[in-house]
Homo-oligomer: A and B are copies of this chain.
Amino acid sequence: MNRQIAGCQPLKLALVSAMLFFGTLTHAQSDPLPSWNDTAPKKAIVEFVERVTTPGSADFVPPAERIATFDNDGTLWSEQPLYFQVLYIFDRIETLAPQHPEWKDKEPFASVLRGDRKSALSGGVKAILEMAMATHAGMSTEEFGRMVSEWLDSARHPTTGRRYTEMVYQPMLEVLAYLRANGFKTYIISGGGIEFMRPWAESVYGIPPEQVVGSSIKTKYEVRDGRPVLMRLPEMNFIDDKEGKPVGINQHIGRRPIMAFGNSDGDFQMLEWVTSGKGPHFGLLVHHTDGEREWAYDRESHIGRLDRGLDEGPDRGWTILDMAKDWKVVFPPGMK
Protein backbone atom coordinates (compact mmCIF):
# COMPACT_ATOMS: atom_id res chain seq x y z
CA MET A 1 0.00 0.00 0.00
CA ASN A 2 2.78 2.37 0.93
CA ARG A 3 4.49 1.92 -2.40
CA GLN A 4 1.24 2.53 -4.22
CA ILE A 5 0.73 5.75 -2.31
CA ALA A 6 4.31 6.83 -3.05
CA GLY A 7 3.48 6.83 -6.73
CA CYS A 8 0.47 9.04 -6.36
CA GLN A 9 1.27 12.74 -6.22
CA PRO A 10 -2.17 14.13 -5.30
CA LEU A 11 -2.57 11.67 -2.45
CA LYS A 12 0.93 12.47 -1.18
CA LEU A 13 -0.01 16.12 -1.06
CA ALA A 14 -3.18 15.29 0.80
CA LEU A 15 -1.25 13.20 3.30
CA VAL A 16 1.28 15.95 3.92
CA SER A 17 -1.55 18.44 4.42
CA ALA A 18 -3.26 16.09 6.83
CA MET A 19 -0.06 15.62 8.81
CA LEU A 20 0.50 19.36 8.99
CA PHE A 21 -3.12 19.85 9.99
CA PHE A 22 -3.04 17.31 12.79
CA GLY A 23 0.40 18.54 13.83
CA THR A 24 -1.09 21.99 14.31
CA LEU A 25 -3.98 20.54 16.25
CA THR A 26 -1.66 18.63 18.55
CA HIS A 27 0.36 21.76 19.12
CA ALA A 28 -2.75 23.80 19.89
CA GLN A 29 -3.91 21.09 22.28
CA SER A 30 -0.61 21.05 24.15
CA ASP A 31 -1.96 23.76 26.46
CA PRO A 32 -5.59 22.93 27.10
CA LEU A 33 -5.78 25.44 29.96
CA PRO A 34 -4.20 28.66 28.66
CA SER A 35 -5.74 30.89 31.35
CA TRP A 36 -4.11 28.88 34.12
CA ASN A 37 -0.63 29.61 35.45
CA ASP A 38 1.71 26.61 35.41
CA THR A 39 1.26 26.05 39.12
CA ALA A 40 0.19 22.94 41.02
CA PRO A 41 -3.60 23.00 40.35
CA LYS A 42 -3.22 23.07 36.56
CA LYS A 43 -0.63 20.30 36.70
CA ALA A 44 -2.88 18.23 38.97
CA ILE A 45 -5.86 18.54 36.59
CA VAL A 46 -3.88 17.69 33.46
CA GLU A 47 -2.01 14.84 35.13
CA PHE A 48 -5.28 13.33 36.38
CA VAL A 49 -7.05 13.60 33.03
CA GLU A 50 -4.12 12.04 31.18
CA ARG A 51 -3.93 9.23 33.71
CA VAL A 52 -7.60 8.21 33.48
CA THR A 53 -7.81 8.56 29.68
CA THR A 54 -4.62 6.71 28.67
CA PRO A 55 -5.64 3.26 27.35
CA GLY A 56 -3.72 0.56 29.17
CA SER A 57 -3.04 2.78 32.17
CA ALA A 58 -3.82 1.06 35.49
CA ASP A 59 -6.07 4.01 36.27
CA PHE A 60 -7.87 4.05 32.91
CA VAL A 61 -11.57 4.93 33.31
CA PRO A 62 -14.00 4.02 30.50
CA PRO A 63 -15.74 7.07 28.98
CA ALA A 64 -19.16 6.13 30.41
CA GLU A 65 -17.74 6.52 33.93
CA ARG A 66 -15.96 9.82 33.30
CA ILE A 67 -18.30 12.06 35.27
CA ALA A 68 -17.19 15.46 36.59
CA THR A 69 -19.39 17.57 38.88
CA PHE A 70 -19.12 21.33 39.41
CA ASP A 71 -20.71 23.55 41.99
CA ASN A 72 -21.97 26.74 40.32
CA ASP A 73 -21.99 29.79 42.68
CA GLY A 74 -18.37 30.69 43.44
CA THR A 75 -17.02 27.78 41.36
CA LEU A 76 -18.19 28.52 37.82
CA TRP A 77 -19.36 32.12 38.30
CA SER A 78 -19.11 34.75 41.04
CA GLU A 79 -21.36 34.81 44.09
CA GLN A 80 -20.69 38.23 45.65
CA PRO A 81 -22.06 40.44 47.08
CA LEU A 82 -24.97 37.93 47.12
CA TYR A 83 -25.91 34.81 45.17
CA PHE A 84 -27.09 36.10 41.80
CA GLN A 85 -30.36 34.22 42.24
CA VAL A 86 -31.05 36.29 45.37
CA LEU A 87 -30.44 39.45 43.31
CA TYR A 88 -32.97 38.07 40.83
CA ILE A 89 -35.45 37.60 43.68
CA PHE A 90 -34.98 41.23 44.78
CA ASP A 91 -35.51 42.46 41.22
CA ARG A 92 -38.64 40.33 40.85
CA ILE A 93 -40.07 41.68 44.12
CA GLU A 94 -39.63 45.23 42.80
CA THR A 95 -41.25 44.28 39.49
CA LEU A 96 -44.17 42.52 41.15
CA ALA A 97 -44.73 45.13 43.90
CA PRO A 98 -47.62 46.95 42.13
CA GLN A 99 -49.59 43.69 42.15
CA HIS A 100 -48.80 43.15 45.85
CA PRO A 101 -49.74 46.31 47.80
CA GLU A 102 -49.62 44.20 51.00
CA TRP A 103 -45.82 43.83 50.64
CA LYS A 104 -45.34 47.45 51.77
CA ASP A 105 -46.15 46.37 55.32
CA LYS A 106 -44.87 42.81 55.24
CA GLU A 107 -41.31 41.70 55.95
CA PRO A 108 -39.01 40.76 54.35
CA PHE A 109 -40.69 42.30 51.28
CA ALA A 110 -41.03 45.77 52.86
CA SER A 111 -37.26 45.97 53.43
CA VAL A 112 -36.53 44.98 49.83
CA LEU A 113 -38.89 47.68 48.55
CA ARG A 114 -37.18 50.27 50.81
CA GLY A 115 -33.85 49.23 49.29
CA ASP A 116 -32.65 47.81 52.61
CA ARG A 117 -31.38 44.45 51.43
CA LYS A 118 -29.44 43.77 54.60
CA SER A 119 -32.59 43.87 56.72
CA ALA A 120 -34.43 41.81 54.14
CA LEU A 121 -31.85 39.07 54.62
CA SER A 122 -31.73 39.31 58.41
CA GLY A 123 -34.47 36.68 58.61
CA GLY A 124 -32.00 34.10 57.26
CA VAL A 125 -32.96 31.09 55.20
CA LYS A 126 -36.62 31.39 56.19
CA ALA A 127 -36.85 34.91 54.76
CA ILE A 128 -35.03 33.91 51.56
CA LEU A 129 -37.32 30.92 51.05
CA GLU A 130 -40.39 33.09 51.62
CA MET A 131 -39.19 35.53 48.97
CA ALA A 132 -38.22 32.70 46.62
CA MET A 133 -41.68 31.11 46.85
CA ALA A 134 -43.38 34.45 46.22
CA THR A 135 -41.34 35.02 43.06
CA HIS A 136 -40.52 31.52 41.75
CA ALA A 137 -43.91 29.78 42.07
CA GLY A 138 -47.35 30.29 40.53
CA MET A 139 -46.24 30.03 36.90
CA SER A 140 -45.36 27.19 34.54
CA THR A 141 -41.79 25.94 34.20
CA GLU A 142 -41.70 27.40 30.68
CA GLU A 143 -42.85 30.84 31.84
CA PHE A 144 -40.29 30.80 34.65
CA GLY A 145 -37.50 29.91 32.21
CA ARG A 146 -38.49 32.81 29.96
CA MET A 147 -38.51 35.22 32.89
CA VAL A 148 -35.01 34.17 33.96
CA SER A 149 -33.71 34.54 30.40
CA GLU A 150 -35.24 38.01 30.04
CA TRP A 151 -33.73 39.10 33.35
CA LEU A 152 -30.26 37.86 32.37
CA ASP A 153 -30.53 39.78 29.09
CA SER A 154 -31.08 43.10 30.83
CA ALA A 155 -29.76 42.90 34.41
CA ARG A 156 -26.29 44.11 35.39
CA HIS A 157 -24.15 43.20 38.39
CA PRO A 158 -24.37 45.94 41.09
CA THR A 159 -20.63 46.58 41.40
CA THR A 160 -19.02 45.45 38.14
CA GLY A 161 -21.80 46.55 35.79
CA ARG A 162 -21.33 43.34 33.80
CA ARG A 163 -24.01 40.94 32.69
CA TYR A 164 -24.21 38.07 35.17
CA THR A 165 -23.40 35.54 32.46
CA GLU A 166 -20.19 37.51 31.81
CA MET A 167 -19.09 36.86 35.37
CA VAL A 168 -18.22 33.23 34.71
CA TYR A 169 -14.64 32.12 35.22
CA GLN A 170 -12.66 31.78 32.00
CA PRO A 171 -10.27 29.18 33.53
CA MET A 172 -13.24 27.00 34.49
CA LEU A 173 -14.78 27.30 31.01
CA GLU A 174 -11.47 25.87 29.78
CA VAL A 175 -11.64 22.99 32.28
CA LEU A 176 -15.20 22.17 31.18
CA ALA A 177 -14.18 22.10 27.50
CA TYR A 178 -10.98 20.17 28.24
CA LEU A 179 -12.86 17.49 30.18
CA ARG A 180 -15.53 17.11 27.50
CA ALA A 181 -12.83 16.84 24.82
CA ASN A 182 -11.51 13.94 26.90
CA GLY A 183 -14.80 12.08 27.00
CA PHE A 184 -16.12 13.42 30.32
CA LYS A 185 -19.73 14.32 31.01
CA THR A 186 -19.79 17.62 32.91
CA TYR A 187 -22.55 18.27 35.47
CA ILE A 188 -23.57 21.21 37.63
CA ILE A 189 -24.44 20.26 41.22
CA SER A 190 -25.59 23.51 42.81
CA GLY A 191 -27.50 24.74 45.81
CA GLY A 192 -29.10 27.21 43.39
CA GLY A 193 -32.40 26.54 41.65
CA ILE A 194 -32.28 23.88 38.96
CA GLU A 195 -34.73 25.83 36.77
CA PHE A 196 -32.86 29.08 37.40
CA MET A 197 -29.70 27.60 35.81
CA ARG A 198 -31.08 25.51 32.98
CA PRO A 199 -32.15 28.37 30.67
CA TRP A 200 -28.53 29.56 30.20
CA ALA A 201 -26.22 26.70 31.31
CA GLU A 202 -26.08 25.24 27.81
CA SER A 203 -25.10 28.43 25.97
CA VAL A 204 -22.77 29.71 28.71
CA TYR A 205 -21.15 26.48 30.00
CA GLY A 206 -22.00 23.95 27.29
CA ILE A 207 -23.91 21.96 29.93
CA PRO A 208 -27.31 20.71 28.69
CA PRO A 209 -30.40 20.88 30.97
CA GLU A 210 -30.26 17.15 31.76
CA GLN A 211 -26.83 17.68 33.33
CA VAL A 212 -27.93 20.48 35.64
CA VAL A 213 -28.79 19.43 39.22
CA GLY A 214 -29.97 21.95 41.79
CA SER A 215 -32.49 22.80 44.47
CA SER A 216 -36.10 22.64 43.39
CA ILE A 217 -39.66 23.41 44.34
CA LYS A 218 -42.45 20.96 43.61
CA THR A 219 -44.25 21.05 40.27
CA LYS A 220 -47.71 19.81 39.36
CA TYR A 221 -48.85 18.52 35.99
CA GLU A 222 -52.11 20.10 34.83
CA VAL A 223 -54.07 20.46 31.63
CA ARG A 224 -55.13 24.11 31.29
CA ASP A 225 -57.51 24.96 28.42
CA GLY A 226 -56.44 21.75 26.72
CA ARG A 227 -52.75 22.60 27.06
CA PRO A 228 -50.60 20.57 29.50
CA VAL A 229 -48.34 22.60 31.78
CA LEU A 230 -46.06 21.96 34.73
CA MET A 231 -47.07 24.49 37.36
CA ARG A 232 -44.51 25.58 39.95
CA LEU A 233 -45.82 25.24 43.52
CA PRO A 234 -44.74 27.26 46.58
CA GLU A 235 -43.34 24.14 48.29
CA MET A 236 -39.74 22.98 48.57
CA ASN A 237 -38.94 19.73 46.83
CA PHE A 238 -35.20 19.30 47.38
CA ILE A 239 -32.29 21.31 48.79
CA ASP A 240 -29.15 20.44 46.88
CA ASP A 241 -26.58 21.64 49.40
CA LYS A 242 -24.13 20.04 51.86
CA GLU A 243 -25.37 16.47 52.58
CA GLY A 244 -27.93 17.05 49.83
CA LYS A 245 -25.28 17.14 47.11
CA PRO A 246 -24.35 13.43 47.20
CA VAL A 247 -28.10 12.69 47.40
CA GLY A 248 -28.75 14.85 44.32
CA ILE A 249 -25.81 13.27 42.50
CA ASN A 250 -27.17 9.81 43.16
CA GLN A 251 -30.71 10.78 42.23
CA HIS A 252 -29.71 12.30 38.89
CA ILE A 253 -26.55 10.46 37.88
CA GLY A 254 -26.74 7.13 39.67
CA ARG A 255 -23.02 6.58 39.77
CA ARG A 256 -20.17 8.20 41.61
CA PRO A 257 -18.37 10.97 39.72
CA ILE A 258 -14.57 10.81 39.57
CA MET A 259 -13.95 14.58 39.67
CA ALA A 260 -15.57 17.28 41.80
CA PHE A 261 -15.02 21.03 41.85
CA GLY A 262 -16.38 23.30 44.57
CA ASN A 263 -15.51 26.40 46.56
CA SER A 264 -17.32 26.36 49.90
CA ASP A 265 -18.18 24.12 52.82
CA GLY A 266 -21.49 23.55 51.05
CA ASP A 267 -19.43 21.43 48.65
CA PHE A 268 -17.62 19.47 51.37
CA GLN A 269 -19.83 16.37 51.22
CA MET A 270 -19.78 16.33 47.42
CA LEU A 271 -15.98 16.29 47.43
CA GLU A 272 -15.94 13.75 50.26
CA TRP A 273 -18.31 11.46 48.36
CA VAL A 274 -16.41 11.74 45.09
CA THR A 275 -12.94 11.36 46.57
CA SER A 276 -13.85 8.31 48.64
CA GLY A 277 -14.63 6.32 45.50
CA LYS A 278 -12.60 3.16 44.92
CA GLY A 279 -10.99 4.15 41.62
CA PRO A 280 -9.03 7.27 40.70
CA HIS A 281 -10.65 10.48 41.89
CA PHE A 282 -9.97 14.20 42.03
CA GLY A 283 -11.29 17.03 44.21
CA LEU A 284 -10.62 20.76 43.90
CA LEU A 285 -11.73 23.74 46.00
CA VAL A 286 -11.56 27.27 44.61
CA HIS A 287 -10.17 29.56 47.31
CA HIS A 288 -11.29 33.14 46.66
CA THR A 289 -8.08 35.05 47.33
CA ASP A 290 -8.33 37.70 44.66
CA GLY A 291 -9.73 40.91 46.10
CA GLU A 292 -8.46 42.84 43.13
CA ARG A 293 -9.85 40.93 40.13
CA GLU A 294 -12.74 39.21 41.97
CA TRP A 295 -13.36 38.92 45.73
CA ALA A 296 -11.32 37.66 48.67
CA TYR A 297 -13.26 35.70 51.30
CA ASP A 298 -13.26 32.38 53.13
CA ARG A 299 -13.76 31.40 56.78
CA GLU A 300 -15.89 34.36 57.88
CA SER A 301 -17.88 35.02 54.72
CA HIS A 302 -21.68 35.16 54.87
CA ILE A 303 -21.73 33.73 51.32
CA GLY A 304 -19.62 30.80 50.19
CA ARG A 305 -17.99 30.23 53.58
CA LEU A 306 -14.91 28.01 53.26
CA ASP A 307 -13.60 26.84 56.62
CA ARG A 308 -13.65 23.06 57.12
CA GLY A 309 -12.52 22.58 53.52
CA LEU A 310 -9.40 24.68 54.13
CA ASP A 311 -8.62 22.71 57.29
CA GLU A 312 -9.25 19.20 56.05
CA GLY A 313 -8.95 19.47 52.26
CA PRO A 314 -5.17 19.14 51.92
CA ASP A 315 -5.01 15.99 54.12
CA ARG A 316 -7.80 14.50 52.04
CA GLY A 317 -5.73 15.03 48.90
CA TRP A 318 -7.91 17.84 47.59
CA THR A 319 -6.34 20.56 45.45
CA ILE A 320 -6.83 24.03 46.92
CA LEU A 321 -6.82 26.59 44.15
CA ASP A 322 -5.48 30.06 44.98
CA MET A 323 -7.35 32.30 42.57
CA ALA A 324 -4.89 35.21 42.76
CA LYS A 325 -1.88 32.95 42.15
CA ASP A 326 -3.18 30.20 39.90
CA TRP A 327 -5.33 32.04 37.36
CA LYS A 328 -3.92 34.32 34.63
CA VAL A 329 -7.34 35.82 34.03
CA VAL A 330 -10.59 35.48 35.95
CA PHE A 331 -13.35 36.55 33.57
CA PRO A 332 -13.51 35.85 29.82
CA PRO A 333 -11.24 38.05 27.72
CA GLY A 334 -12.86 41.04 26.08
CA MET A 335 -14.23 42.09 29.46
CA LYS A 336 -12.19 43.89 32.03
Interface residues of A (CB under 8 A from B): 1, 4-5, 7-11, 64, 67, 141, 185, 194-195, 198, 202, 208-210, 212, 216, 219-221, 223, 227-228, 230, 243-244, 246-247, 250-255, 269, 272-273, 276
**A273 x B209 contact (CB < 8 A):** no
**B219 x A247 contact (CB < 8 A):** yes
Q: How far is the CA of A212 from the CA of B255 in the complex (A)?
A: 11
Q: How far is the CA of A269 from the CA of B208 in the complex (A)?
A: 24
Considering the complex, give the chain B residue whose CB is closest to the CB of A6. Answer: B10
**A228 x B194 contact (CB < 8 A):** no
Other 6 A-B pairs with CB < 8 A, given A1-B10, A8-B10, A230-B246: A5-B10, A7-B10, A8-B9, A141-B250, A210-B255, A221-B246
Which of B221, B272, B276 makes the CB contact (< 8 A) with A269?
A: B221
CB-CB < 8 A to A254: which residues of B? 194-195, 198, 208-210, 212
Q: Nearest Cβ distance between residue A93 and chain B, in whole angstroms?
A: 26
Q: How far is the CA of A141 from the CA of B249 in the complex (A)?
A: 12
CB-CB < 8 A to A272: which residues of B? 223, 228
Which of B202, B210, B253 makes the CB contact (< 8 A) with A209?
A: B253
Of A5, A228, A255, chain B has the most CB atoms within 10 Å of the CB of A228
CB-CB < 8 A to A244: which residues of B? 221
A11-B8, A254-B194 known; A246 vs B273 contact (CB < 8 Å): no
**B250 x A210 contact (CB < 8 A):** no
